[in-house]
Structure 1
Amino acid sequence: MQSTKGRPMKLRRIGAPVNEGCDIHGSQLAIQSLQTRGLTFETVVTVEKKNESEGEILHLNTLHDFLTRLKHEVTKTDQAGEFPLVYGGDHSLAIATIAALDNKNRGVLWIDAHGDCNTHLSSESKRIHGMPLAVAQGYGHPKLLEIVGSNTVDSDKILLVGIRSLDEKEEELMKSWGLKWITQDDIDINGFEWTKDQVKSFLEALDEIHLSFDVDSMDPSLCPGVSTPVGGGLTPDQALDLVELGFDSVHVSSMDIVEFNPVHDQGKTVELILRMDAMVQSKLNGECA
């Protein structure tokens, strides 16, 4: 099985300073914060406010427009032979990053405290950042499914890691779809080496993956720069190990790093993000860790 390692690719960072999917102040400032720390973005897709009507989802028209344009940028990057690394912004952007690449054999490694598998019918918050993985499978509001089109992901090609906060209806949906997930309790009970073995086994059965990393997968006492913290979680080193395992085990065709909220950070979360960016860059250059 080929890995991204050994297949040098040019990294293209795409900034997506979207906050409307979360509707909590701060994540829209992430790109600016990362730029002040030295990260350069070849493209930044900005939000353009649209007229909204009361309905089942907050900011639906605005996000439909934004996600459609972001999808185009990610597709264009892939077609140019470059690696799209998309920085949020909130996790709603994953609707675009996953839909942008057309490969029915592609899987998804989703590292997150949350399932993000609500639909417009199950969500109590009406926030789209809690829906992207449902939409990626073809479940959700018709206007969001327009963005995905035929580029859905099979449920048996998805693995969620670090889960520790699921809504009741959301968990019922996940079970009905046959999704696989590893909770933080599983990690704490069985150990991190066991966790890596489970992830590696999943990855090696796939041709390629999209890797989605939500910074709230980490323990907020160690990385507080998030909008929706949940107690417990991965350590920064464990998070880096899981992302590195992805690149070493299978071809990673795209990646997003989401939900960084600099308003709540104390100089800790941003350091992890910079380490992760450097590690991804080294993998794309074909370098050893």
Structure 2
Amino acid sequence: MQQTRVSLIGAPTDIGAGVRGSSMGPEALRVANIVDALRARGVEVEDRGNLSGPSNPVLPPEDGYRHLEEVTQWNEAVHTAVHRELGRGRFPMLLGGDHSLALGSISAVARHCRERGKSLRILWLDAHADFNTRKITPSGNIHGMPVACLCGLGPDPLIRIGGHTPAIDPSWIRQIGIRSVDEGEKRLVHEMKLDVFDMRYIDEHGMRQTMDRALAGMDENTHLHVSFDVDFLDPEIAPGVGTTVRGGPNYREAQLCMEMIADTARLASLDVVELNPALDHRNRTANLAVDLIESLFGKSTLMRSE
């Protein structure tokens, strides 16, 4: 790993989700001993505690968005915290919270990369494309919109976070494990030419070839960001999420994915989102998430002799 000084940033909110409970995700990861697990990998860890923001008002959508003002406030706080840690030369690890928070996190990473002249690669590990807009969303839940907003398709308060619109170019992102895309999203994903490795691709080509392609083209000047939605995993092994979709990666596929990311030595920031302890069994999903995060930081069955 290039960067072994990790700052944990908790964002305990389910403000952008349709199901309550992901606000408890940061504490569930701490209960699963994420700090000790990382330190066992030789990582220096500082837990910055939890950010604060508005509570979830549980209101219906307004003009196509649920809780737009509150989601904006949370993402502004996340953006500030993540950008600050990057500026200190640290590795920010966002503990969510729902996936709308990736707006703040990734916009901060993109801002940092622009300031430092670095290229950015984003791996979006998720069951969903999260490319909805106000006109096509079936729910108005903003956790289904962050990729679209990052690409400049969304309300001004969200797409302007970080001061650069759009925050990212669609060519920087690789979506992996996708298996649930709304009809309107499909058209937008094709129009924006997103690079999507859905579950059919993984079934046909395997996780190794998938990751080889998703990671291709990076160099020493690349900042690799991973946005890990826990519903990326098959719900048989990870039941503690609010939006389960059958047919996701199994344990070994997920481990290979994480180990290949670690092998690049380019990983420099991470989101861990959508963990919902209210729907979990004895913190099983949080424990699995921590196990996989360890693999991102170099844990493997045997030492590799290249």
- Deviation at residue 241 of structure 1 after TM alignment: 2.2
1:271 aligns with 2:301: no
CA spacing shift, 1:216–1:70, aligned 2, 3 Å: same
1:156–1:179 contact (8 Å) kept in structure 2: yes
1:98 to 106, 119, 134: 106
Alignment pair present for 1:142 and 2:156: yes
Distance 1:113 1:127, change over 3 A: same
Cα separation, 2, equivalents of 1:196 and 1:49:
38
CA distance in 1, matches of 2:235, 2:219: 31
1:96: Cα distance to partner? 0.5
Alpha-carbon distance between aligned partners in 2 of 1:32 and 1:43, rounded to the nearest angstrom:
10
State percent identity of aligned pairs: 31
Q: Give yes or no for contact 2:130–2:148 (8 Å, CA) kept in 1.
A: yes
Who is 2:44 aligned against? none
**Bigger shift: 21-30 or 32-41?**
32-41
Q: Partner letter of residue 242 of structure 1? A: C
1:198 aligns with 2:213: yes
- Which residue identity does 1:32 align to in structure 2? E
Q: Distance in 2 between matches of 1:250 and 1:77?
A: 19
Match of 2:75 in 1: 67
**Which residue of structure 2 lines up, in the alignment, with residue 44 of structure 1?**
50
Corresponding residue for residue 141 of structure 2? 127
Contact 1:216 1:230 in 2 (8 A): yes
Contact 2:262/2:297 (8 A) holds in 1? no
Paired residue secondary structure (2:269): strand
Work out whether 1:12 is the aligned partner of 2:12: no
Asked whether the 8 Å contact 2:16–2:98 carries over to 1, the reply is: yes
Equivalent position of 1:79 in the other structure: 87
The alpha-carbon deviation at position 195 of structure 1 amounts to 1.8
Offset, 1:206:
7.4
> Per-residue deviation at 1:112?
0.6
Shift of 1:202: 5.3
Shift of 1:146: 2.1
2:231 is equivalent to residue 216 of structure 1: yes
Q: Structure 1 residues 203, 64: closer, same or farther in 2, change over 3 A? A: same
For residues 172-191 of structure 1, what are the alpha-carbon distances to aligned partners after superposition, in whole Å with 9 as ceiling and x for unaligned?
Answer: 11110111101111111222
Gaps of 5+ in 1: none
Q: Which moved more, 1:248-257 or 1:202-211?
A: 202-211
Deviation at 1:91, TM superposition (A): 0.2
Give SS of 1:147's match.
coil
* Structure 1 residues 75 and 30, CA gap change in structure 2 (3 angstroms): same
Structure 2 distance, partners of 1:206, 1:114, is 29
Amino acid at match of 2:102: A
Q: C-alpha separation between the residues in 1 aligned to 2:53 and 2:237?
A: 30
Task: Determine the C-alpha separation between the residues in 2 that align with 1:261 and 1:202.
Answer: 35
Stretches (4+) displaced over 6 A: 50-53
- Report the TM-score when normalising by structure 1: 0.89
- Say if 2:14 and 2:56, in contact at 8 Å, map to a contact too: no
Structure 1 pair 179–24 and aligned structure 2 pair: CA distance change class (3 A): same
* Matching of residues 166-245 of structure 1 within 5 Å: 166-201=181-216, 203=218, 207-245=222-260
TM-score under structure 2 length normalisation: 0.84
What is the CA distance between 1:140 and its match in structure 2?
Answer: 0.9
Please say if residues 135 and 148 of structure 1, whose CA atoms lie closer than 8 Å, have aligned partners that are also in contact.
no
**Residue ranges of structure 2 left out of the alignment (5+ in a row):** 36-46
Residue-by-residue CA offset, 1:249-274 (whole Å, 9 max, x unaligned): 25222110111111111243122112
Query: Aligned equivalents of 2:56 and 2:31: distance in 1?
Result: 29
**For residue 27 of structure 2, what is the aligned residue in structure 1?**
32
For 1:131, the aligned partner's letter is M
* Distance 1:164-1:203 versus aligned 2 partners, 3 A rule: farther
Which amino acid is the alignment partner of residue 42 of structure 1? Answer: R
Name whichever of 268-277 and 49-58 sits farther off.
49-58
Partner AA of 1:272 in structure 2: L
Correspondence 1:152-167 to 2 at 5 A = 152-167=167-182
Is the 8 Å Cα contact of residues 157 and 206 (structure 1) preserved in structure 2? Answer: no
Aligned length: 281
